[in-house]
C-alpha cells in the first residue's frame, strides 16, 4: 500500500527540472536499471522500461557485442528468450550467438541508431556465425557482422545458408515472439520453399528496410504488463491470415520502392502539415507519464 502511494505521488508531481530536455539524453545518461519491478512502459518506439535485467556479457552460448554502447539490457522475458535461442542455435550447427543491441538500462529513446528498442522487448541478433565466444571487449568493438542481402537489396548473398534459415525458424517458432524484422530479400528467399506447415512461423517474418547484417526480434507484451502497448496491426492481420508470401512482399524490391521518382505534387505549407517528431526529438513530456518515475528511481 505504501509503495503504491509513493508511486501515485511521484506520478502526480510536476515534471522535474529539465523535463523539456531531450529524452534520449536523459535516458542515455543512465548507466544502471531502475530498482523497480520489471515493466515495459508504452510502445516499442515511444516508451521506457522499469526493472530491466542485464544480459551477461558472455555466456556458454552467447556474447553481447559493442559493450561500449551499454545496450545489453532487457525485460526478464527477453533475457530468457535470448539465452534459450542461443542454445537452440547450437542445434542448427552454430556455437552460439552474437547479440547486438537490446535496450539501454532504462530503455527510452536512444542517442543514436534505433527508433524502437525502447521498452526492453527488442533485440538484434547478428547473422555472423561466431568463431569464438571468448572475444575481448576490444574485439567486440572492432568485429562486424556480415550482410546476407545483396547491395541492390533484391536478393540474398552466398552467405544465406540453410542453417541461418533454421535459426530464423527457431526464433519465430517461439511463442514469446510477436514478429521478426528482416531484409525483404531474406523473406522472399524463404518463401520460395515455404510449405503450408511454415505458415504460422513465417507469418511473423516481416520485411523492413535495412537489416542486412542482423535480424530484429520483437517480443509480445508479457502477461500482466498493463503498461505495455501491443503493436497493431497484428502479423495475422498484416498477412491476411496467410504467410505473407504474396504480391505485397515484392513491393519491397520494386523500383517504385527502391528508386522512387521525385513527386511533382506541391508540398503543403508547414503550418498546414506540421512535421511529426522523431524519437530523438522526444522530451520526457512526450513519453508515458510513468517514464518520469522510471527515470528518477534509484
Predicted confidence band at 35 (pLDDT cuts at 50, 70, 90)? Answer: very high
Question: Does residue 285 form part of some domain?
Answer: no
Residue 22 sits in which domain range? 2-258
> CATH no. for residue 121?
3.30.1380.10
What per-residue confidence (pLDDT) applies to 3? Answer: 40
Question: Does residue 86 form part of some domain?
Answer: yes
Question: Does residue 263 form part of some domain?
Answer: no
What per-residue confidence (pLDDT) applies to 113? Answer: 83
Report the candidate in 211, 205, 267 with the shortest Cα–Cα distance to residue 239: 205
What per-residue confidence (pLDDT) applies to 5? Answer: 40
Q: Is 19 left (phi over 0), alpha (psi -120 to 50) or beta?
A: alpha
Element (H, E) at 238: helix 235-238
Question: Do 147 and 213 touch, CB atoms closer than 8 A?
Answer: yes
Prior bond of 17 cis (ω within 30°): no
What per-residue confidence (pLDDT) applies to 265? Answer: 66
What per-residue confidence (pLDDT) applies to 13? Answer: 43
Determine what percent of the chain is predicted with pLDDT higher than 90: 80
Give the chain's domain count.
1
Question: Does residue 271 form part of some domain?
Answer: no
Question: Does residue 287 form part of some domain?
Answer: no
What per-residue confidence (pLDDT) applies to 178? Answer: 98
What per-residue confidence (pLDDT) applies to 255? Answer: 84
Q: Which of 2-16, 40-54, 133-147, 249-263 has the lowest mean pLDDT?
A: 2-16
Question: Does residue 286 form part of some domain?
Answer: no
Question: Does residue 8 form part of some domain?
Answer: yes
Q: Which of 81-85, 165-169, 252-256 has the lowest mean pLDDT?
A: 252-256
Q: Which of 16-20, 152-156, 161-165, 217-221 has the lowest mean pLDDT?
A: 16-20
Quote the CA–CA distance of 54 and 79 in Å, as a whole number.
8
Predicted confidence band at 9 (pLDDT cuts at 50, 70, 90)? Answer: very low
Question: Does residue 296 form part of some domain?
Answer: no
Segment 219-267, tens digit of pLDDT: 999 999 999 999 999 999 999 999 999 988 989 999 889 988 887 666 5
Task: State the average pLDDT over residues 25-30.
Answer: 97
pTM of the model: 0.90
The CA-atom distances, in angstroms, between 27 and each of 31, 101, 262, 287 are 9, 15, 38, 12
Amino acid at each position: 500500500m505504501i509503495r503504491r502511494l509513493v508511486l501515485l505521488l511521484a506520478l502526480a508531481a510536476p515534471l522535474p527540472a529539465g523535463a523539456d530536455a531531450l529524452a534520449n539524453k536523459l535516458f542515455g545518461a543512465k548507466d544502471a536499471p531502475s530498482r523497480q519491478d520489471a515493466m515495459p512502459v508504452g510502445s516499442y518506439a515511444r516508451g521506457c522500461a522499469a526493472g530491466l535485467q542485464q544480459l551477461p556479457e558472455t555466456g556458454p552460448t552467447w556474447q553481447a557485442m559493442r559493450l561500449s554502447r551499454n545496450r545489453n539490457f532487457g525485460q526478464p522475458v527477453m533475457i530468457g528468450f535470448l539465452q534459450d535461442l542461443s542454445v537452440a542455435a547450437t542445434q542448427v550447427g552454430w556455437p552460439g550467438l552474437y547479440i547486438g543491441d537490446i535496450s539501454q538500462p532504462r530503455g527510452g529513446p536512444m542517442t543514436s541508431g534505433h527508433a524502437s528498442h525502447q521498452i526492453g522487448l527488442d533485440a538484434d541478433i547478428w547473422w555472423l556465425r561466431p568463431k569464438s565466444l571468448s572475444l575481448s571487449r576490444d574485439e567486440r568493438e572492432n568485429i562486424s557482422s556480415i550482410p546476407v542481402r545483396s547491395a541492390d537489396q533484391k536478393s540474398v548473398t552466398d552467405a544465406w545458408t540453410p542453417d541461418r534459415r533454421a535459426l530464423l525458424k527457431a526464433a519465430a517458432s517461439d511463442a514469446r515472439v510477436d514478429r521478426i524484422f528482416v531484409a525483404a530479400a531474406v523473406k522472399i528467399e524463404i518463401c520460395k520453399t515455404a510449405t503450408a506447415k511454415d505458415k504460422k512461423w513465417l507469418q511473423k517474418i516481416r520485411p523492413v528496410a535495412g537489416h542486412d547484417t542482423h535480424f530484429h526480434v520483437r517480443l509480445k507484451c508479457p502477461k500482466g504488463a498493463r503498461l505495455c502497448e501491443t503493436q497493431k496491426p497484428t502479423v495475422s492481420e498484416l498477412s491476411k491470415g496467410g504467410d505473407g508470401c504474396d504480391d505485397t512482399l515484392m513491393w519491397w524490391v520494386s523500383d517504385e520502392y527502391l528508386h522512387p521518382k521525385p513527386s511533382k505534387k506541391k508540398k503543403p505549407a508547414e503550418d498546414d502539415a506540421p512535421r511529426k517528431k522523431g524519437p530523438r526529438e522526444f522530451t520526457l513530456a512526450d513519453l508515458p507519464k510513468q517514464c518520469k518515475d522510471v527515470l528518477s528511481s534509484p
